[in-house]
Amino acid sequence: MSDPHDHATRAYYDAFSARYEAERRPHRPGGYHALVDDLEIELVHRYGRGTDVLECGAGTGLLLERIARFARTATGIDLSPGMLQVARGRGLDVREASVTAIPFPDASFDVVCSFKVLAHVREIERAMAEMVRVTRPGGVVLAELYNPMSLRGLAKRLGPAGAVSETRKESEVYTRFDAPWAVRRLLPPGVTLETARGVRIVTPAAAAMRVPGLRWVLRKVERGLADTPAAIFAGFYVAVLRKGE
């Protein structure tokens, strides 16, 4: 791929791949990332059980591996060869590709999901259109956006950039924040915003999940608020989009 933005993003995640799972399952099953992953997977399960599911931005396959347990088929794409190498080691069906040029025919999947990926895509309308294109009529697209109206959004904009490797920081990759009320402007024709799920609504920082008592409270509150109007304040706003018949 010749797109310079794709090239920069690929290099960033190749560098990230070596330590991507350091704070994630199975190393910290009760921590912050486990909570975020669980809330995302529950949503995929709600719409994708027994269906054909595509994950755009599958990374090392942590979520795709779980999706494969309940979907009829589970397929993933990602820009990063480093990430994909780990995913293939898990025996997953993945290929190198961009969400702006998905290498599958029209109407190939019942559910297409993308978590923590669209925030790093400049041509987000094109990415949305591609995700919808490969979704079957009546199917669902789960599109997660970084929300500026959130504690996480505030921390990311005002705080220092975190390190993802010995030589790279988060600030090196393009990152966008899209408010929940702007979602409809990003959609191609024939798609409706059916509902949304909020992920990380009240958790002030990932470190809060390392406090045993507080961790239990935060998990309970996050689950209770995820599918309520409070989702508008979530750090990760997951739009549930329905493709017309």
Tens of pLDDT, residue by residue over 50-85, are 999 999 999 999 999 999 999 999 999 999 899 999
Cα Rg of the chain (Å, integer): 17
What does the pLDDT read at residue 176? 92
Kindly report, residue by residue over 117-155, the tens digit of the pLDDT: 999 999 999 999 999 999 999 999 999 999 999 988 887
The predicted model scores a pTM of 0.86
What does the pLDDT read at residue 152? 83
How far apart CA 117 and CA 115 sit, in angstroms, is: 5
Q: Which CATH superfamily is domain 4-243 in?
A: Vaccinia Virus protein VP39 (3.40.50.150)
What does the pLDDT read at residue 174? 86
Q: Where are the domains of the chain?
A: 4-243
**What DSSP string describes 164-213?**
SSSS-BGGGS------GGGGGGGPPTTEEEEEEEEESSS---GGGGGSHH
